Amino acid sequence: MSTPAPRWKPSVTVAAIVEHAGRFLIVEEETSEGLRLNNPAGHLDPGESLPQAVVREVLEETARAFTPGGLVGIYLTRFHRPATGDDVTYLRVAFRGSVGEPLPGRTLDDGIVRTLWLTPDELRASAARHRSPLVLRCMEDHLAGRAYPLELLQADASLLQPWTLG
């Protein structure tokens, strides 16, 4: 009897697309590939809804409160790092929304060097420094008017149950 192959699972991430006065909120972060630019983004944690995850990630990475206003899109991308053999597929849920001013006393997450407000042209010109091709894709989709209601996302009450590994 053969052992079944492990089930493939994409890594679920969330990202915030924040435009204000024609500029987009971007984080500059330390990665194993050097300093990279990214949307405020991160992984979905156990027990969180997708909107809760993006609000948390934006706060951690920018020290700003984020208010989701809609969805820009849901994206699949694959990242392969030849040096280590890492091969990860990401499922990214991108939200559009707004942020407040930086909150006093909040520090940026480890690895986040600073936040920037970049124009679309500045983001396009810096594509070689993007952490993912989705940084540019999400901005372009936002500029194209892609906007879907938050009600598309549903979170079952089972998310609030105690988390068990097994």
Which amino acid is residue 71, in one-letter code?
L
Residue 20 maps to a domain: yes
Number of domains composing the chain: 1
Q: Is residue 9 part of a domain?
A: no
Determine the Cα–Cα distance for residues 133 and 138; give it in Å rounded to an integer: 9
Report how far Cα 61 is from the mean position of its chain's Cα atoms: 10
Report the DSSP beta bridge partners of residue 38: 27
What is the DSSP secondary structure assignment for residue 163, as one 8-state letter? P
Per-residue pLDDT of the chain (166 residues; tens, 9 = 90+): 678 888 888 999 999 999 999 999 999 999 988 999 999 999 999 999 999 999 999 999 999 999 999 999 999 999 887 767 788 899 999 999 999 999 999 999 999 999 999 999 999 999 999 999 999 999 999 999 999 999 999 999 888 777 666 5
Contact 38, 75 (CB under 8 A): no
CATH number of the domain within which 51 lies: 3.90.79.10
Is 50 within a domain?
A: yes
Residue 154 belongs to some domain of the structure:
no
Residue 160, in any domain of the structure: no
> Can you give the residue range of the structural domain that contains 58?
16-149
Task: Please indicate, yes or no, if residue 36 is contained in any of the structural domains.
Answer: yes
